A = this chain, B = another copy of it.
Amino acid sequence: MKKLINDPDDVVDEMLDGMLAAYPDRLRRLPDTQVLVREDAPLDKVNLVTGGGSGHEPTHAGYIGDGMLDGAAAGGVFSSPTADEFEALIGACAGDEGVLAIIKNYEGDVMNFETAIELAEMEGIEVESVVVDDDVAVEDSLYTSGRRGVCGTILVHKAAGAKAAEGAELAEVKRVAEKVIDNVGTMGMALTSCVTPEKGEPTFDLGDDEIELGIGIHGEPGTERTDTMPADEVTDELTEAVLEDLDVEEGAEVLTIVNGMGGTPEMELFVVNRRLQELLGERGIETHDAWVGDYMTSLDMAGVSVTVCVLDDELKTLFDAPADTPGLSVR
């Protein structure tokens, strides 16, 4: 399998340098780390940090900027940053109002971030954390106890980031993050496996007439392998699983994401969005905003995930607030 890379061992390092070369006014890299932080991180507000394995771009560093994140640590492809890297990240983003760490529920991320938080607290930095577990497909997986954290994480960045930008204190920013986590669900599917730079071969095999439902973002197995289906049926399967998990009622207002997994043409994402919005309309559910694009990817995997977040007035205001990052722009 062919990739536009040099040495697989250098791919994360070179990617980060390529991001810095694209956004020199927005980002800086902490020396001798894979941590990117805001060039102009304001220290008079709660700062938001996250991180995790690489291969999910624009997650994580693509959401650094006004109204979202202040820094992000990048691990190797699909592997967690070390506790040292997370500690450096927290230290660099520690202002006067404390730090909120947003952690996707994967065992390595949780363990290493928690170690880093303990170390930071010993240095007198006020840190709170939340763990995102929005994937409704599986209760436990190869890499998690409990549900996986996937594309819904972007909505935690967005709402908590907007709350922090308002000048809210740490406990309030954390409350908003938890409100999103309580009200968001995601389910994904794959047409093809992803191929990691190191291995150079598909992580799992899918036949030419097969798809896999309920996949995660690391090529880990899903819940069901089936024959290929029309896009509308795929959309219905994913959406209904999410709506059922969230117990979304008629009259609810939601924000939706149709997320490409990295190798999916935008044309197909819009075909999925068409059916998603039609289905929500049939159920009497009102879409406040619909995002379509690549937000939380899995290298070159062809596939899609559907995210639904149930809104109240506070979340609507926070999702509508301005954000200015390479991966997401709201005005």
- List A residues at the B interface (Cβ < 8 Å): 1-7, 11, 14-19, 21-22, 54-55, 57-58, 62, 191-192, 208-209, 211, 228, 230-232, 234, 262-278, 287, 290-292, 294, 297, 299-300, 302-304, 324, 329, 331
Whether the Cβ atoms of B22 and A290 lie closer than 8 Å is: yes
- Closest-by-CB residue of B relative to A327 is B266
Having A15-B274, A21-B274, one finds 6 other A-B pairs with CB under 8 Å, namely A18-B272, A21-B276, A57-B266, A57-B267, A262-B266, A265-B299
Whether the Cβ atoms of B274 and A5 lie closer than 8 Å is: no
12 contacts between A and B (CB under 8 A): A2-B191, A2-B208, A2-B211, A4-B234, A4-B268, A4-B304, A6-B230, A6-B232, A18-B272, A19-B273, A21-B278, A294-B294
Q: Do A5 and B262 contact each other (CB < 8 Å), given the known contacts A18-B292, A273-B18?
A: no
Whether the Cβ atoms of B266 and A58 lie closer than 8 Å is: yes
Chain B residues whose C-beta falls within 8 Å of the C-beta of A290 in the assembled complex: 21-22
Chain B residues whose C-beta falls within 8 Å of the C-beta of A303 in the assembled complex: 4
- Closest-by-CB residue of B relative to A289 is B22
Chain B residues whose C-beta falls within 8 Å of the C-beta of A304 in the assembled complex: 4
Dominant SS at the A interface? mixed
Whether the Cβ atoms of A55 and B265 lie closer than 8 Å is: yes
Chain B residues whose C-beta falls within 8 Å of the C-beta of A294 in the assembled complex: 266, 294
Chain B residues whose C-beta falls within 8 Å of the C-beta of A302 in the assembled complex: 2, 263, 300
Chain B residues whose C-beta falls within 8 Å of the C-beta of A58 in the assembled complex: 266
Chain B residues whose C-beta falls within 8 Å of the C-beta of A21 in the assembled complex: 273-274, 276-278, 287, 290
Q: Do A15 and B271 contact each other (CB < 8 Å), given the known contacts A55-B265, A208-B2?
A: yes
Chain B residues whose C-beta falls within 8 Å of the C-beta of A273 in the assembled complex: 18-19, 21-22
Task: Tell me the minimal C-beta distance from A91 to chain B in angstroms.
Answer: 25
Whether the Cβ atoms of A264 and B4 lie closer than 8 Å is: yes
Task: Tell me the minimal C-beta distance from A16 to chain B in angstroms.
Answer: 8
Give the top 4 A-B pairs by smallest Cβ distance, nearest first: A18-B270, A18-B274, A57-B266, A329-B329
Chain B residues whose C-beta falls within 8 Å of the C-beta of A287 in the assembled complex: 21
Chain B residues whose C-beta falls within 8 Å of the C-beta of A270 in the assembled complex: 14-16, 18-19, 22, 57
Whether the Cβ atoms of A271 and B5 lie closer than 8 Å is: yes
Whether the Cβ atoms of A271 and B208 lie closer than 8 Å is: no
Q: Do A265 and B297 contact each other (CB < 8 Å), given the known contacts A15-B270, A22-B292?
A: yes
Chain B residues whose C-beta falls within 8 Å of the C-beta of A7 in the assembled complex: 230
In the bound complex, CA of A2 to CA of B265 (Å): 12
In the bound complex, CA of A263 to CA of B264 (Å): 6
